[in-house]
Amino acid sequence: MNKHIDALITRQENAFLTSIDDAGYPTVKVVRSPRKRDGLKTMYFTTHNNTQMVKSYEVNQQAMVYFMDEARFQTASFYGTMTVETDPTIIQELMETENAPVFAKGVDPKTYCVLRFTADKVKFFSNMTTEVIDL
């Protein structure tokens, strides 16, 4: 099953990130697919520092990452925690290599940040069935 979920993520250009706002409501933001992954457990995303979502993760780390393949009618909902990455090695790697076209004018750490998502479980929908997998 993991290989099917991995393939779903690999095919996608975008991911949907959710956070909980100050009023306790979920919010959704579309970002580019993970810039780096460690299997299905850990995913890294890049975004602007000043977004409300980043501020929300600093207060409440609960998060969901959602991928959807419309053509195959498959989805994967990952549940876990999102933190602002502080490891300078990972930040530099992602900002300088994977995101070179995005950050063509240079990377200002005051403007951009790396988010690290750590999944606890994934809910995978395919062929009209849903399977929940603990990670």
CB 81 within 8 A of CB 118: yes
User: 67, 124 in Cβ contact below 8 A?
Assistant: no
The answer to whether the beta carbons of residues 98 and 48 sit under 8 Å apart is no
Domain of 102, in residue numbers: 2-134
Residue 19 sits in a domain whose CATH number is: 2.30.110.10
> Distance between alpha carbon 92 and the CA centroid of its chain, in Å?
18
pTM: predicted TM-score of the whole model, two decimal places: 0.89
The whole-number pLDDT of residue 90 equals 83
**Exposed, middle or buried, 123 (CB in 10 Å: 0-12/13-18/19+)?**
middle
Mean pLDDT of 94-114: 65
Domain count within the chain: 1
Helix (H, G, I), strand (E, B) or coil at 93: helix
The mean pLDDT of 77-98, rounded to a whole number, is 84
Model confidence at 100: pLDDT above 70? no
